[in-house]
Structure 1
Amino acid sequence: MYDATRLSPSMEDYLETILELSEKEGVVRVTDIAARLKIAKASVAQALNNLKDLKLVTQDRYGPVWLTDKGRAYATAVRRRHRILMHFLTEVLGVDPHTAERDACQMEHVISSTTLEHLLA
């Protein structure tokens, strides 16, 4: 799991979205990210500049977006937290899937690795 200081929840959401789109579509465009997150393309472009500065994504001007190895590791860690929380909320606590999805999306950004590992124990 990626151990650096955590990004903001929105930056983590961008990485997770890029990972999911790259696995599904192969090539990720700004338009795809904007549509998935229901935000303006200009907002995506600004976020991508921040992620590029952190060496988490690469993108040629107006080209597709690619996760770096570091970005892929971070995105994979976010998705792992999400999946563990979804399982816990639905299977252990019996929360309905819609509510569990919404809650997991919030919790994945703040849960500590210690608490997460205890959920797995």
Structure 2
Amino acid sequence: MKVSKRVSKREEEYLETMYLLHKNKGVIRVKDIAKIMNVKPPSVVDALKKLAEKGLVEYEKYDRILLTEEGERIAKETYSKHLALTKFFVDILGIPEEIAEQDACQFEHYVSEITVERMKEFAKFIQEQCPYVLKQFLKEKREKK
């Protein structure tokens, strides 16, 4: 099975959703993917077919759905970015959690791994070296709500 290097933002979203379903429920079902992604089941089936052609999922109609090693790698990478971005937005920038989650969902598909790592390093640095300045910044942002 040929693995394509080109994975769209939407395909990353599908892979991430499947990864989280498997992690939390132990099983990946079309109806669960459809519900989470707010799409109709036929759209999920079409996406699964494309992802299977790219070697990112194992999917046969009416059979179990599994992420391949490469599909899981992409999903974990995307989810890891999501978590790091959300944490940065909330802890360092003082963005409300709901907004931070939404923004992270968008950013995770476009930001490089090096940028995420640098954000983590910056967050650690500012929290350790300038905790008072960070607390003052966050206090001011929360007061402006």
Specify the structure having the higher radius of gyration (Cα): 2
TM-score (norm 1): 0.92
Q: Give the distance between the partners of 1:5 and 1:84, measured in 2 at CA.
A: 24
Q: Give the distance between the partners of 2:64 and 2:40, measured in 1 at CA.
A: 17
Which segments of structure 1 move beyond 4 Å, counting only runs of 4 or more?
Answer: none
Q: Give the distance between the partners of 1:21 and 1:112, measured in 2 at CA.
A: 25
Other-structure match for 1:109:
109
Other-structure match for 1:64:
64
SS in 1 for 2:58: strand
Query: Which whole-Å deviations, capped at 9, do the CAs of 1:62-92 have from their partners, x for residues lacking one?
Result: 2221001111111000000000000100000
If asked which structure has higher relative contact order (CA below 8 Å, sep 6+), I would say 1
Structure 1 unaligned runs (5+)?
none
TM-score (norm 2): 0.77
Percent of paired sites with the same residue = 36
Other-structure match for 2:120:
120
SS in 2 for 1:110: coil
Q: What aligned pairs does 1:32-51 form with structure 2 within 5 A after superposition? A: 32-51=32-51
Q: Give the distance between the partners of 1:97 and 1:64, measured in 2 at CA.
A: 34
Decide whether aligned partners of structure 1 residues 64 and 53 sit closer, same or farther in structure 2, where only a CA change above 3 A counts: same
CA RMSD of aligned residues (A): 1.3
Aligned pairs, how many?
118
Q: Give the distance between the partners of 2:115 and 2:5, measured in 1 at CA.
A: 17
